[in-house]
A and B are shown apart, each in its own frame.
Chain A
Amino acid sequence: MTGEVFPADGMLSLEPVVVGVVLAMAVVTYLTKVGGMWLVRHVELSERLEAGLSVLPGAIVIAILAPELAAGGPAEWGSAGLVLLVMWRTDSILLALCAGVAGVVFLRALL
């Protein structure tokens, strides 16, 4: 933890303090990953709550996407449109991804 460039023989070094912090990070992250599932499994869900649960997938997708696209520019918007178009025409996520990434590289260079 000197902050200097590590010497070559230090590549495999594992400092106990660092390992401890990393493992603590792993535990915290794991708790966030299982927390929601655990809660939903251990709470008696009414139909009303089930309805709320059922809109989560779409809502999460939009909540991730919207601010990201809003922060982007014409290159990102155009590429997002391209992904939609390719998805609609081919139904292949792989093609859509390739088109989107190629599109964003191209449009960023262009715009």
Chain B
Amino acid sequence: MRILYRSNGATEGVAGPSKLADGRPVNRITPLPSIVYERHLGVLCLPPGMGSTDESGSSRVAPSRGDGSTEGRPESTPASVTFTREGIRTGFVTTVPVALGVGGYGIAFGVLANQAGLSVAEAALMSATVLAGASQIVAVELWADPIPVAAVLFTVFAINMRYSLMGAALEPWFRQLSPKQIYGSLYFMADENWALTMRDLTAGSGRGAFLLGSGIAMWVFWVGSTVVGAVAGGVVGDPTRYGFDFILAAVFVALAAELWEGRSSLLPWLVALGVAVAAAELVPGRWYILLGGLAAAELVPGRWYILLGGLAAAVVEVIRYDG
């Protein structure tokens, strides 16, 4: 929903300057924020700290310093990331249509949980506290009497490891927020709303509370649809019939279109693509099932390949970094 962005006519289209005001070159800081400042806001919207290339410590305390404010800062430009009620609201509203679709999966989860023998209250509790769809579905697939606790917990950990990488990717914007705001918002992070948040932040909105608002939307629909599915039992059919299974892919395709920055994206993206596809093929996606001695998790493969692909691209970038 581009309309919601405070886009800035004054700086639109201005390419990032090659030098900061004091003459230090802006070297190699482009990859992440270039969408931000080339398309929208000028160098002012660099995630704080990335602009100062000399004192890495102090840049966190005073994020907007060293940003070359002589470039002219339009009044409406959010030069910093703030945590506001408006951010929560925008995040919520933007995410509702996506969360509605995610509800299709929530119903599927509710049905599976019901079949696994969980009560409606227990299924709802799981959705409300875990809030990570893929791992929940695999967990209830592993469910048995007695519960294979170690296998369930390890599986959940393995599937959700990718969230660590997603959280780390948010850090350049979140470093201005308080620990309470950061770690509170992260509780609500899931794939879809991470993608929408990333999209909002890279556009230079400065809405630090977007993740929280979008996460609340996800939470409401995820828990609600879990209850519906658990109560309705097997009445609801296969989610692929309604195309719900494509929503996540569609959100990410849309995000990829926005994150593409031309040639600087090419190498890291190719590395991520190659490693992820190879890992998804070669590393047996369901190896963790061996721990539980069950082979039921056909619905969701292991997601180590995401972690591997993302890490590989970051490592390559770290290696090829040339100051």
Contacts and interface: CB of A to CB of B under 8 A. Distances in A.
Interface of A: 1-4, 6, 10-15, 17-19, 21-26, 28-30, 32-37, 39-41, 44-72, 76, 79-80, 83-84, 87-88, 91-94, 96-97, 100-102, 104-105, 108
B313 A64 contact: no
Nearest to A105: B243
Given A2-B145, A65-B253, A92 B2 contact: yes
B250 A97 contact: yes
Given A11-B119, A36-B164, A68 B145 contact: no
A93 to B, nearest CB: 5
B114 A6 contact: yes
Contact of B130 (A18, A29, A40, A51): A29
A12 B164 contact: no
B120 interface: yes
Main secondary structure of the interface of A (DSSP, over half): helix
B40 to A, nearest CB: 13
Contacts of B85: none
A69 to B, nearest CB: 7
A12 B273 CA distance: 45
Q: Which of B169, B174, B196 has the most CB of A within 10 A?
A: B169
Contacts of B275: 63
B105 interface: no
A72 B254 CA distance: 17
B231 A11 contact: yes
